[in-house]
Structure 1
Amino acid sequence: MEKKQRILLKIGSNTLTKETNNISRGKIEDIANQIAVLQETYDFILVSSGAIAVAKQFVKLESKQEDVFVKQALASIGQPHLIRIYQEIFREYGLLTSQCLLSYSDFEKHESKTNIVNTINVLVNNNYIPIINENDTVATDEIKFGDNDKLGALTASLLEVDLFIIATNTNGIYTKESLENRNPQTIALVEDFASLEKQVVKTKSSHGSGGMQSKIEAAGLAKRANIETWIINGMEDHFILNALENKIPFTKIK
């Protein structure tokens, strides 16, 4: 039996909400359906934002504290709801899920890194899909920087996955000139990473905290670990299947 390839899929808040103020159960169903179709060939690990977006559907916190602490509290409220939604929907497709909360400090210690790898290997080898998020309650990096793009890249590198997919709300990375002309053109293949960095337009999405800059930085981290990154429009249905079959425009960073 051939060894299955591993894909780490990073899903941002904007993709999960489909640019609304609510988590889209339909989008999570779309992701579950695609994983179910591909499970004989690929193992999946998810890095998912969305805890804060889920919490905002239920509560409005009053606080005189700084904004970041309110967001940490919202993340604490929303994370169990987010995982419950994943579990319910994935179970309908015969998929098992688990929750892993990580902080960037976990990637700085040898023992922590070993534990992450061993735990996730056990989960994946027993057909569980790890759903990873930043431990926002104790660490503010994800809230301030990058909407889990960096966390996705660090995890992909640590686990030595075969492919790192970043689901976003654009058809990959557009050339700077085409954006200025208001006629976005996707950069299909990137082999010269230095030239790519010059194409970045610094904007952020409505719910996400990263924008394209953080995705380029994440791709750079993955590249140093010799991992290919695909930046795909996760707003579209069947985006993973269509990208694997080259049916849609997306950016492939070799």
Structure 2
Amino acid sequence: MSGTIVIKIGTSSLTQPATGNLALSTIAGLVEVTSKLRHKGYSVILVSSGAVGVGCGRLHLAERPTELAMKQAVAAVGQGRLMRIYDDMFTTLQQPIAQVLLTRFDLVERSRYMNVFRTFEALLNLNVVPIVNENDTVAVHELKFGDNDTLSARVASLVDADWLFLMTDVDQLYSADPRSNPAAYAIDRVENIDQLTADVASAGTQWGTGGMLTKIEAAKIATAAGVRTVIANGRNATNILDVIAGTGISTVFEPQPRPFNARQRWLAHGLVPAGQLYLDDGAVRAVRDRGKSLLPAGIVEIDGEFESQAAVKLCDRQGAEIARGLVNYSSADLQQILGQKTDAIPGILGYAGTETIVHRDNLVLSSTA
């Protein structure tokens, strides 16, 4: 196989701005390019927005609903129509597809994460193109990815993809919004995303939820997992082939090395931290430089309320994240034992808990550590 490509297409590319109706020519172009990639030996996953936007068009709504139940109802209307269009177009090219609807919880809980991974693996082995969307009809706020840029980045990390294409309504990332600032210039390549300086305050269209800021955040997730990430114009799907060949117009974010196995990728990108632990300098060096577990004596402060086995960020005194992992104590218990020696835990809590607060097997260093 040539590798795995995740393509995220946004509502702004899939629909007509004025009406929210589907832009059928854009979808046809995307389907054709996806099929060409399959024939070249690539595995392809398509993360498609548009269910709410299409539902709005189908129901003749003038604007995207904001109330959760209404949004879920509109998504249910739009998702079926969107998948029917995809299925009809892919069928003409003899390319089977599958619908995969996810919530954040599917990637947070370990067993569900592995189930999703195995499902993708099986579909790709069957030469199927999975079409992924957030399960808007059931997801509540706490379980939502928030936008499909983030969803696509987490899927790319999950399947250890080689490429993530974030298809949007501009050709490239610009230093400022080119629609309002004539002095804006295009950024072709980003070697270090943490040093990127660009105006990314645009909030997306009335039919979508994303914007350039969400794409930058998605690129951070994907590149940290070793996935080369591209921002390109979604109205010109053939540009994907050009970018892979090294000639297309786009902004390419270079990936970081791939130090992660599947479990480490889950720890780094599948979990939603419920709190933060602030460490003293000695604990920072032990965790970051010597690969040690976190002990209670090294914790100086706790932020957030969480239960045992929740995900937490491990930060230095200044708040810079150095790692994240699964904590062995609740925040209430940690407040009692932070800064204490390990052998003092039973006397303080009244039970003999584990010696480590976060075991080294359950933590992963952050990309900036």
Question: Is the structural similarity TM-score above 0.5?
Answer: yes
- Is the 1:172–1:231 contact (alpha carbons within 8 Å) kept by the matching residues of 2? yes
Q: Distance in 2 between matches of 1:114 and 1:144?
A: 19
Tell me by how many angstroms 1:77 deviates.
Answer: 1.4
Tell me by how many angstroms 1:144 deviates.
Answer: 8.1
Amino acid of the structure 2 residue aligned with 1:123? L
Q: Distance in 2 between matches of 1:248 and 1:170?
A: 13
For residues 166-194 of structure 1, the C-alpha deviation after alignment (integer angstroms, 9 at most, x for no partner) is: 00011121013977741442211101212
Q: Secondary structure at the match of 2:44?
A: strand
Paired residue for 2:121? 121
Paired residue for 2:96? 96
Counterparts in 2 of 1:164 and 1:204: CA distance versus 1, 3 Å: same
Paired residue for 1:199? 198
**Number of equivalent positions:** 249
Q: Highest Rg: 1 or 2?
A: 2
- Is the 2:168–2:231 contact (alpha carbons within 8 Å) kept by the matching residues of 1? yes
Q: Distance in 2 between matches of 1:238 and 1:31?
A: 8
The 10-residue stretch of structure 1 (12-21 or 178-187) with the greater mean CA deviation from structure 2: 178-187
Q: Secondary structure at the match of 2:217?
A: helix
Amino acid of the structure 1 residue aligned with 2:2? K
Paired residue for 1:231? 231
Tell me by how many angstroms 1:19 deviates.
Answer: 3.1
Tell me by how many angstroms 1:57 deviates.
Answer: 2.2
Q: 1:16 aligns with which of 5, 14, 19?
A: 14
- Is the 2:105–2:143 contact (alpha carbons within 8 Å) kept by the matching residues of 1? no
Task: Structure 2: state its 5+ residue gaps.
Answer: 255-369
Counterparts in 2 of 1:112 and 1:211: CA distance versus 1, 3 Å: same
Paired residue for 1:156? 156
- Is the 1:7–1:162 contact (alpha carbons within 8 Å) kept by the matching residues of 2? yes
Tell me by how many angstroms 1:92 deviates.
Answer: 0.9
Counterparts in 2 of 1:87 and 1:179: CA distance versus 1, 3 Å: closer
Q: Secondary structure at the match of 1:165?
A: strand
Tell me by how many angstroms 1:4 deviates.
Answer: 2.7
Which structure has greater helix proportion?
Answer: 1
- Is the 1:5–1:161 contact (alpha carbons within 8 Å) kept by the matching residues of 2? yes
Q: 2:3 aligns with which of 5, 21, 24?
A: 5
Counterparts in 2 of 1:250 and 1:8: CA distance versus 1, 3 Å: same
Counterparts in 2 of 1:174 and 1:143: CA distance versus 1, 3 Å: farther
| TM-score, normalisation: structure 1 | 0.90
The 10-residue stretch of structure 1 (236-245 or 32-41) with the greater mean CA deviation from structure 2: 236-245
| TM-score, normalisation: structure 2 | 0.63
Q: Distance in 2 between matches of 1:143 and 1:108?
A: 9
- Is the 1:49–1:133 contact (alpha carbons within 8 Å) kept by the matching residues of 2? yes
- Is the 2:203–2:211 contact (alpha carbons within 8 Å) kept by the matching residues of 1? yes
Q: Percent of aligned positions with the same letter in both sequences?
A: 35
Task: Structure 1: state its 5+ residue gaps.
Answer: none
Counterparts in 2 of 1:243 and 1:144: CA distance versus 1, 3 Å: same
Q: Distance in 1 between matches of 2:199 and 2:32?
A: 32
- Is the 2:103–2:143 contact (alpha carbons within 8 Å) kept by the matching residues of 1? no
Amino acid of the structure 1 residue aligned with 2:21? N
Q: Distance in 2 between matches of 1:168 and 1:177?
A: 13
Counterparts in 2 of 1:218 and 1:203: CA distance versus 1, 3 Å: same
Counterparts in 2 of 1:224 and 1:80: CA distance versus 1, 3 Å: same
Q: Secondary structure at the match of 1:80?
A: helix
Counterparts in 2 of 1:16 and 1:187: CA distance versus 1, 3 Å: same
For residues 102-143 of structure 1, the C-alpha deviation after alignment (integer angstroms, 9 at most, x for no partner) is: 001111111111111111111111111100100111214599
- Is the 2:21–2:58 contact (alpha carbons within 8 Å) kept by the matching residues of 1? no
For residues 199-243 of structure 1, the C-alpha deviation after alignment (integer angstroms, 9 at most, x for no partner) is: 133112222211100000000011221111011111225121232
Q: Distance in 2 between matches of 1:235 and 1:142?
A: 32
Amino acid of the structure 2 residue aligned with 1:132? V
Counterparts in 2 of 1:96 and 1:24: CA distance versus 1, 3 Å: same
Q: Secondary structure at the match of 1:27?
A: helix
Tell me by how many angstroms 1:146 deviates.
Answer: 4.8
